[in-house]
Amino acid sequence: MRPIENVHSKKAPHWVGDGFYVKTFINHLEENPDFNYEHTDPFLLFDYGEPTTFEPNPNYQTEPHGIGKHPHKGFETVTIAYSGEISHADSTGGCGDILEGDVQWMTAGRGIMHEEFHSAAFGQRGGVFSMVQMWVNLPSADKLTHPKYQSIKRAEIPLVDLIDNSDDSDGSNQATIGKAAIIAGEWQGVTGSASTFTPINVWNIELYASGSTTLQIPNTHNTLLLVQEGELLVNDTPVSAGNLIQFEAPTQHRADIQDEHAPDTDIIELHCSITTTEEPTLNPIKLLLFSGEPIGEPVAGYGPFVMNTQEELRQTFRDYQTGNFIK
């Protein structure tokens, strides 16, 4: 079983532009000796936008809520919409709306300019808005890859049943208590929709019945779990909504794996008790698991640029200031 290292909760929310009210749980620029990029590699940044209600925007066509054109270089941004809708446009000509349950996986690579706003439809009607965005580092060999854009619709994301294994000594209990949507990575022979440069798992998880289940994570991965809604036991530790679980460091590194018969996964146990109203309506527990094999390379970052050396970073700023950034 992969033990829990820490549960992170004390993060004050802040605005990104005027459309995204987020808690930044991971920031590779923070100098926290107990929780820094060494513990989250390859994840550079993780913003969680808890459910926030927006009133209808009377100026949704001319002044949409969000953030205007800004640059990125050297990594990927992954945006998942849970409630509300996001419109995206970038310097490669990529554009579109990220609807509820959809994922945008944008590779900035050698450089991209993009903008993100509430969609016109959401701006007009208002409502509850919730999303996450993570920054995934690129290895040095791929830092200058051509930008690309993966638009992943909710219906395209494969699902894996989560089986209740509580009180199942004879293996006869096969009740399904939830599902995992495999955005990226692989589990139980199911491969996620997103293509990645390094081994990464990104799974949306819903538990809608009481019971216990287990997740199997490569023991070479840094692993984190966001609790979005509900309360449950994770490895016998009670965790409630709005908390990010940091598991202990990988138990193995790929270069050290020699015994082909040694187990290559760690176990995370989830135990939940789902309550119901008087009507047969369930209140599911919602989680986001993300794990990745550490890249293990030096990082030089400032703002929206993440390179490997300070000289590469200075050159990036020179290119941006002289108009050569995306040429």
Residue pair 213/162 in contact by the 8 Å Cβ criterion:
yes
Cα gap 204→88, rounded to integer Å: 22
Instruction: Convert the pLDDT of each residue in 32-82 to its tens digit.
Output: 999 999 999 999 999 999 999 999 999 999 999 999 999 999 999 999 999
Residues 19 and 130 in one domain: yes
CB atoms inside a 10 Å sphere around CB 79: 20
Residues 148 and 193 in one domain: no
pTM: 0.93
Q: What's the pLDDT score for residue 166? A: 79
Instruction: Convert the pLDDT of each residue in 150-170 to its tens digit.
Output: 999 999 999 999 999 876 555
Residues 118 and 253 in one domain: no
Per the structure, the complete domain to which residue 210 belongs is given by: 156-292
DSSP for 94-130? Answer: -EEEE-TT-EEEEE-TT-EEEEEEE-HHHHHH-EEEE
Cα gap 57→318, rounded to integer Å: 38
The phi and psi torsions of 321 (rounded to 5 degrees) equal: -75, -25
The answer to whether residue 119 sits within a structural domain is: yes
CA distances 31 to 37, 249, 266, Å, are 9, 18, 29
Which residues contribute to the annotated binding site? 70, 72, 114, 116
Three-class DSSP category at 35: coil
Confidence of residue 6 (pLDDT cuts 50, 70, 90): very high
Task: Please give the structure tokens belonging to residue 17.
Answer: 């532009």
| Total domains, the chain | 2
Residue pair 132/140 in contact by the 8 Å Cβ criterion:
no
The answer to whether residue 18 sits within a structural domain is: yes
Residue at token pair 């966001």: 226
Which residues contribute to the annotated binding site for Fe cation? 70, 72, 114, 116
* CATH number of 63's domain: 2.60.120.10
Cα gap 234→214, rounded to integer Å: 10
Q: What's the pLDDT score for residue 323? A: 83
Instruction: Convert the pLDDT of each residue in 196-254 to its tens digit.
Output: 999 999 999 999 999 999 999 999 999 999 999 999 999 999 999 999 999 999 988 76
The answer to which of 59-68, 107-116, 168-177, 179-188 has the lowest mean pLDDT is 168-177
